[in-house]
Every structure is written in structure tokens, then in C-alpha cells.
A and B are shown apart, each in its own frame.
Chain A
Amino acid sequence: MKEIKVALVGTPNVGKSTIYNTLTKSHEHTGNWPGKTVGVSKGECVFEGVKYVFYDLPGTYSLISKSKEEVVATDFVLFEEFDVAVVVCDATSLEKGIGLALQTKEICRNVIVCINLIDEAKKKGISIDYKLLESRLECPVIQASARENIGLKELLKQIRESKESNYLDIDYGVLNPYIQEVQSSIKPVQLNPNWMALKILEKNQYYVNKFKSLGITYKEVRVPDSIDVNLEVTLKMLKKGKEILKGVIFYQTQEYDRKERKIDKILTSKIWGIPIMLAILFVTFYITIVGANYPSSFLFSFFASLEGPIASFLEALSLPNFLVSLIVDGAYKTLYWVVSVMLPPMLIFFPMFTFLEDLGVLPRIAFNMDRAFSKCQACGKQALTMCMGIGCNAVGVTGARIIDSKRERIIAILTNVFMPCNGKFPSLIAIITIFFVGLNKEYGSLLCAGILTIFLFLGILLTFLVSFILSKTILKGEASHFTLELPPYRMPKILDTIIYSVGDRALFVLGRAVSVALPAGIILWVIANVYIGGASILTYLVEFLNPVGVLLGLDGVILLALLLGFPANEIVIPIMLMGYLSTSTLIEMDNLNVLRDILVSNGWTMKTALCFITLFLYRFPCSTTLLTIYRETKSKFYTVLSVLIPLGIGVILCLIINGIF
């Protein structure tokens, strides 16, 4: 089969990844904010007997700068083997993409321009003369709307028929003589010598070194200091872009984005900006908490009812009793426990969060919060990773990729654990309800969500404090430059949102949780069921930990539960109950009255509850998150630090609480 390799180039947030996903049927998520794609993804599709291989390059505003995404994209276009480059532009702001199209044509001989989001442009009253644009650009122009699956067939046909032409040569005015002089001296000739000469004149160290390593020699030419090379290049590129777009775009009204600006003014207003953001978060939590209750208990009783049949089945296989107990009471029970507690909130929270993400609310949150972060020499985009952390810290840590500066990215990763993840909610709610709200109160769940929000606030304060201290000590440095695009609001396709958030986020997190819950269940069973000298290992561990526990305002059982809950925050309270009741298996806590009686009879007071919540919130990231931190930072030092920081804070807070009360 004939194979065509296609590179997809485009500015951030023009729907490049949507084109990629639609064509290759892959599910790379495309949030409505810049910088989602960092690496190059590869996907394939077959159309009319031809195999197309697509490479989705990171979104870049230009191919001139030196940021990570731009170097990745530029290097791909320059040095990788492919047949056609498709530059994706946004029909609603063609000015933005035209420079990138020209720059691509400077270094690639086979370019197609694909104007995406034509439906959105129509809605905004923007019309474009595609014929004129095509003749001016001297390359094929395709109109498309990937979301609506419009124009993609035409794009594939055009890719198949596209032919090589010459490199685009831009008139760089005063620079021309210097370009001539350098370019005629370049040996051996490859790529576009004019472009190479430009890089050399720009003193672009990255490419100068690259050319050297390729064994390319050239004559050194000095441009007088009175000429600002970077500015000249930008201005000439811009001039060319303007010439091309002259008489191509028509606005029916200059006020095409009036509605958007109005919404933006409310969402970022001095008085309402922050309260609205908090309200959005509060509502999201409230729906998650209330909505997850019923399906959670349903799943729980469903899985619990299978315990008996599974046990009898295993016994029928004449397995020894201890093995049956290990499998059913250890592995199976812990597994379904984690699944029933974790799955429903995730199925509610992640779609809601993805919806906000796709709508374009997240960049506004970063915009509102940036000042506070810049005071801590951190990046406003950290606000987004914090929001993701509430869903799952592992997701938040991965999300820190959107932060450009490495220093600021590490700060965001190390402080992410201060945002309580979904997995902590059910336990927090139970303890808060029992000790601070009281059972069966009117508006109890509302009050509970309120208290939860206070703890969340504390987490936010700690995030700022720790970010500040980190950037004054081991992660010293100036706040880097912050540029943030506030993209137009886009109504997400609800079905896609659900499919993505359930398929890629919820199930992914659940998968990781399950993979740690199984071994954890087996270890728990062994600790509770292996007896040495008349007492279980559990008893010994509790006795051993008790003095430390008491010092922290807790006891040995609580401390052991907090330690053994390392694989999943959901199982901390069940382990605790197992310890208190000296049972050999996890204990259900669906009845809060029973839970209260057990805790109170074991000496719990409001102080114990407060200390427990504190250490539960600030101890260490769960095993999944820790693994993710190591993968993202590739540093043992930072991974250890990500444990020590919250643990230190949690222990100190507990000591203080225990000392005061």
C-alpha cells in the first residue's frame, strides 16, 4: 500500500489535535487551552487505498523561537522524513497562523494550509476569500471543521496529490546582502540555505551548533549593531503576512467577540472573579459528594454479595482454607472496596472537570490567580495543576507539563499533594460529619461541603507558602516570563467529554489503583492473620507505633492505618477499623452511627479527629502519585522531597494541635 507521511503543524489551540484525533481515531485529549501536546504523537489512517501516517507536532506560535515545543516542531520539519506538512490555521484568527504557515514554507517544500474552525468563523460573521488566499500563498488551502468532520476528506485527497515546490523566499530588506553573503558560502548545500543563513545571522546558538555537528561550514559575517536582526525578521515576516491577508478576511462586524468579552469581564472582575471561581469549585465538589453516595453503596453491596459465591467456588476447587480467606477476605475485598469508593466520584468529577477544561474556563482561573503565584515566584498555570490535583494528584503532577520553566514545574509538582484528591473525600466527609457537623443534621451535607472547602483553603495557603519557601531556598530563581492565551469559549461536545474523561482519566486512575490494591490487600491479610506467639503481626505493629501516635494526638492503630494506606487513601479508615476491632479483614463503614461508636469507644475526641484529618491530608502522596512524580522529574531527590515536605508539615501541625488542646 502506498504510504504518505504527514506532519501536522499549527499554533496552540487551533484544533490541530482534533484533526489528528478524528483522522486517526485516537483519543489524545484536546483541552481548550494551549500547550496540551508536548511530544510528537504518531497515528495512522487508510483512505481510498492509501495509508496516511500523521505526526502531531506540539503547537507553536512560530518556528523561530527557542522554547521546547518550538524546537521539537522545527527540528521535526527540518530533519525528519515526511512527505507533506499540513499547517493548521484558525479561521477566526488567521493573522495568528499565517506567520507559521510562511515559516513552514521557508523550511519545507510541500506544504498544505488547512483552515480549521470555519463553522466558528461563520458564526462570528467572519468570511474568508479562500481562492485569493490560495493564489497568494502559492499552496493548496483546505477549509475544514474537524469537530463537525467537515473538509477532512478533501484534506486527505489534497495530501495525496500535493507536489513539491520551491522554498518560500521572503524579502528581508536590509538583511538581504548579509543573507546572500552567508548563504553563498554554506557547504554542503542542504535545507534552505537562505533560512540557514538567517539562523546564523540571528546567532541562534541551537542551530549554529546543529549545523556544525552536521559538518556544515560557512563564512562568518557580522551584521552592524545598528540592525536589530530579530526585529527585522519579525517585521518582514509580518509584512509578508499582511500582504497575503490583504483583502482576504472580511468581518461583518468588528464586535464579533462582544459576548465573549462580556463573560470574560465577569469571570475576571475584581469583585466577582475569585468568588465565582470558588463557587464553581464548591458546586463541583457538592455534586460529586452527593451524587457519588448512592452508586457507591450500590456497588459495595453488589460486590459484597459476591463474596459468598466466590468463596464457595474456591472451596469447591478444594483450595486450603487460608488460601480462600487470603483471596476473598484479603485481595478481593480490598479490591472491590477501592473500586466502589473510588469509581463513582471519579465518574462524576472527571466529566465535570473535563467540561470546564474544554469550555475554556481553566485559563481564566490561571489568569485570575497568577498574581498570587508570581508573588511566590511561581507560575499562574500552577492553579490549573492544583485543580487537576483535586481530581487526582497523579493527574495534577502529569498536568504540570504545561508549565514551561523547569523550576516552576518542579514547584507545582512538589506542592500538588496539598490539594486533597478525590480519594480522600469519602473518609474526610465521614470524619467531618461525625465529629464536626453531627449526624442526621438538617443541611448536614451542605455544612460538610463547607468545612471541606475550608480544609481546601488551608491546602491552597500551604501551597503558596511552600511554593514561596521553595523558590527562596532550593529552587531559587526569578519568576520566568508568563504569557497565557485566553482562547475563545467553546461549547464542548458532551459525549466526547464523557467518553474521554471516563475512558482515559477515570479508568486510567482506577487501573492504577486496582494494581496497587491487590498486593496491598494480600499484605493486609497477612498482617492481620499471621500470628506469632499468640498475637497477630498487626497487634505488634500497633503496639510499636503507639507511643509515636500518642505524641501526634493519635494512637498506634491510626498511625498504622495511615502508613498502610500508602497505596490508596480510600482504605485508611477500613484498615483502622480492622485494627480497632481486631478482625481479620477490612470493616465496612457505611453506617456512620456504628463508625462513631467504634471511634468514640476507642478514645476518639474532636482533637483526635482534627489530628487525623491533618495527617491524613498532609502525609505523603499515594504510591501512584509518587511513581508519577518520579517519572515526571526523573529525580530521586525531588521524589524524596515530595514525601518529606508534606510529612514534615503534617507532623508539625499535629504536634502543635496536640500541644494546644
Chain B
Amino acid sequence: MITLDKLGIDERAIIHQVKGDEAMRRRLFDLGFVPGENILCVLISPFRDPKAYKIRGNVIAIRNVDARGVVVEYEGD
């Protein structure tokens, strides 16, 4: 199990847990960062932060500091 910011480009995972302060957690929930969802890292910005993830058919960019609060598991692990 790793945190989301460690997910490499084009790697798929399943969200296990979402931590962080209440406002950000709520925001992430709304955007589809919910335990059980499939997530794919699709883009890394030139300075390697933020990264963009495909989730529920949307591409959403978040900063690594926030991605650290999202625990994911590689698919099939």
C-alpha cells in the first residue's frame, strides 16, 4: 500500500483511505476520491507537482502534499 503521490505515470490503483483535514477530504470525496474507486495517474506537471489523476472519467489535478493523504493499493495486490 502506498500514498497516491507515489503512484507513477500510467499506473492504476484502488483508493483505500482518504485522510486530511475535513474541508479537503470533503472536496476529494466530491471529486470522486473515495475508497474503492479506481484511479489512474495520467499526467505529471513539469515540476513533478501537481499530478493529474483520472477518476470517475474526470481528470483532476491535486498537489502532492494533498495526495499524500490518499492511501491507494495497486490493482490485484
> Which residues of chain A (52-72) have a CB below 8 Å from chain B?
61-62, 64-67
CB distance from A549 to the nearest CB of B (A): 43
Using known A-B contacts A265-B43, A268-B44, A273-B45, determine if residue A481 contacts B27 with beta carbons closer than 8 Å: yes
A601 sits at the interface (CB 8 A): no
Q: Which of B30, B58, B63 contacts A374 (CB 8 A)?
A: B63
Pair count A-B, CB < 8 A? 120
Q: Which residues of chain B come closer than 8 Å to A265, judged between CB atoms?
A: 43
B 20-50 to A, binary, CB cutoff 8 A, 1 in contact else 0: 0011111111111011110000111111111
Q: Complex Cα distance A132/B53, Å?
A: 30
In contact, A96 and B56 (Cβ under 8 angstroms): yes
A270 sits at the interface (CB 8 A): yes
B76 sits at the interface (CB 8 A): no
A368 sits at the interface (CB 8 A): yes
In contact, A235 and B35 (Cβ under 8 angstroms): yes
Q: Complex Cα distance A370/B64, Å?
A: 11
In contact, B61 and A484 (Cβ under 8 angstroms): yes
In contact, B63 and A370 (Cβ under 8 angstroms): yes
Q: Complex Cα distance A261/B46, Å?
A: 15
In contact, A380 and B46 (Cβ under 8 angstroms): no
A269 sits at the interface (CB 8 A): yes
Q: Which residues of chain B come closer than 8 Å to A274, judged between CB atoms?
A: 46
Q: Which of B29, B56, B59, B66 contacts A482 (CB 8 A)?
A: B66
CB distance from B40 to the nearest CB of A (A): 10
In contact, A483 and B61 (Cβ under 8 angstroms): yes
In contact, B46 and A273 (Cβ under 8 angstroms): yes
Q: Which residues of chain A come closer than 8 Å to B26, judged between CB atoms?
A: 64-66, 230
Q: Complex Cα distance A271/B45, Å?
A: 10
A314 sits at the interface (CB 8 A): no
In contact, B60 and A483 (Cβ under 8 angstroms): yes
Q: Which residues of chain B come closer than 8 Å to A370, judged between CB atoms?
A: 45, 49-50, 61, 63
Q: Which residues of chain A come closer than 8 Å to B24, judged between CB atoms?
A: 481
In contact, A269 and B56 (Cβ under 8 angstroms): no
In contact, B47 and A367 (Cβ under 8 angstroms): no
Q: Complex Cα distance A484/B44, Å?
A: 13
> Which residues of chain A (255-270) have a CB below 8 Å from chain B?
261, 264-265, 268-270
In contact, A486 and B32 (Cβ under 8 angstroms): no
Question: Which bracket fits the contact residues of B?
Answer: 35 or more
CB distance from B4 to the nearest CB of A (A): 13
Q: Which residues of chain B come closer than 8 Å to A235, judged between CB atoms?
A: 34-36
Nearest B-chain residue to A486, judged by Cβ: B59
Which of A261, A269, A483 is most buried by chain B, counting CB atoms within 10 A of its CB?
A: A483
Q: Which of B30, B34, B50 contacts A371 (CB 8 A)?
A: B50
> Which residues of chain A (367-395) have a CB below 8 Å from chain B?
367-368, 370-372, 374, 380
In contact, A93 and B61 (Cβ under 8 angstroms): no
Q: Complex Cα distance A289/B48, Å?
A: 35
CB distance from B64 to the nearest CB of A (A): 9
Q: Which of A264, A269, A374, A486 contacts B60 (CB 8 A)?
A: A486
Q: Complex Cα distance A367/B63, Å?
A: 10
CB distance from A381 to the nearest CB of B (A): 11
A 447-464 to B, binary, CB cutoff 8 A, 1 in contact else 0: 000000000000000000
Q: Complex Cα distance A370/B59, Å?
A: 16
Nearest A-chain residue to B51, judged by Cβ: A367
Q: Complex Cα distance A274/B27, Å?
A: 29
Q: Which of A61, A238, A268 contacts B45 (CB 8 A)?
A: A268
A632 sits at the interface (CB 8 A): no
CB distance from A277 to the nearest CB of B (A): 9
A 270-312 to B, binary, CB cutoff 8 A, 1 in contact else 0: 1101100000000000000000000000000000000000000
Q: Complex Cα distance A509/B31, Å?
A: 36
Q: Which residues of chain B come closer than 8 Å to A270, judged between CB atoms?
A: 44, 46, 48
Which of B23, B45, B48 is most buried by chain A, counting CB atoms within 10 A of its CB?
A: B45
B2 sits at the interface (CB 8 A): no
Question: Which bracket fits the contact residues of A?
Answer: 35 or more
Q: Which residues of chain B come closer than 8 Å to A273, judged between CB atoms?
A: 45-46
In contact, A380 and B59 (Cβ under 8 angstroms): no
Q: Complex Cα distance A368/B52, Å?
A: 11
Q: Which of A238, A483, A484, A485 contacts B34 (CB 8 A)?
A: A238
In contact, B46 and A486 (Cβ under 8 angstroms): no
In contact, B63 and A61 (Cβ under 8 angstroms): no
Q: Which of A64, A93, A268, A380 contacts B57 (CB 8 A)?
A: A93
In contact, B30 and A61 (Cβ under 8 angstroms): yes
In contact, A230 and B29 (Cβ under 8 angstroms): yes
A316 sits at the interface (CB 8 A): no
Using known A-B contacts A65-B27, A93-B57, A380-B50, determine if residue A264 contacts B43 with beta carbons closer than 8 Å: yes
> Which residues of chain A (95-118) have a CB below 8 Å from chain B?
95-96, 99
Which of A95, A235, A479, A486 is most buried by chain B, counting CB atoms within 10 A of its CB?
A: A486
A231 sits at the interface (CB 8 A): yes
A92 sits at the interface (CB 8 A): yes
In contact, B50 and A484 (Cβ under 8 angstroms): yes
Which of B28, B32, B46, B62 is most buried by chain A, counting CB atoms within 10 A of its CB?
A: B46
Q: Which residues of chain A come closer than 8 Å to B28, judged between CB atoms?
A: 483
Q: Complex Cα distance A293/B36, Å?
A: 59
In contact, B56 and A485 (Cβ under 8 angstroms): no
Q: Which residues of chain B come closer than 8 Å to A94, judged between CB atoms?
A: 57
Q: Complex Cα distance A372/B45, Å?
A: 11
In contact, B30 and A95 (Cβ under 8 angstroms): no
A149 sits at the interface (CB 8 A): no
Using known A-B contacts A65-B30, A268-B43, A268-B44, determine if residue A96 contacts B58 with beta carbons closer than 8 Å: yes
Using known A-B contacts A482-B63, A486-B52, determine if residue A66 contacts B23 with beta carbons closer than 8 Å: yes
Q: Complex Cα distance A487/B66, Å?
A: 21
Q: Which residues of chain A come closer than 8 Å to B34, judged between CB atoms?
A: 234-235, 238
CB distance from B55 to the nearest CB of A (A): 9
Q: Complex Cα distance A420/B35, Å?
A: 46
Q: Which residues of chain B come closer than 8 Å to A230, judged between CB atoms?
A: 22, 25-26, 29
> Which residues of chain A (222-251) have a CB below 8 Å from chain B?
230-231, 234-235, 238
In contact, A92 and B57 (Cβ under 8 angstroms): yes
Nearest A-chain residue to B69, judged by Cβ: A481
CB distance from A12 to the nearest CB of B (A): 10
Q: Which residues of chain A come closer than 8 Å to B63, judged between CB atoms?
A: 370, 374, 479, 481-482
Q: Which of B35, B37, B43, B57 contacts A231 (CB 8 A)?
A: B35
Q: Complex Cα distance A234/B45, Å?
A: 29
CB distance from B66 to the nearest CB of A (A): 6
In contact, A367 and B61 (Cβ under 8 angstroms): yes
**Given A371-B48, A371-B50, A482-B61, 8 further pairs, Cβ under 8 A:** A64-B26, A64-B30, A92-B57, A93-B58, A96-B58, A374-B49, A482-B66, A485-B61
The 4 closest A-B pairs by CB, nearest first: A93-B57, A371-B47, A61-B30, A273-B46
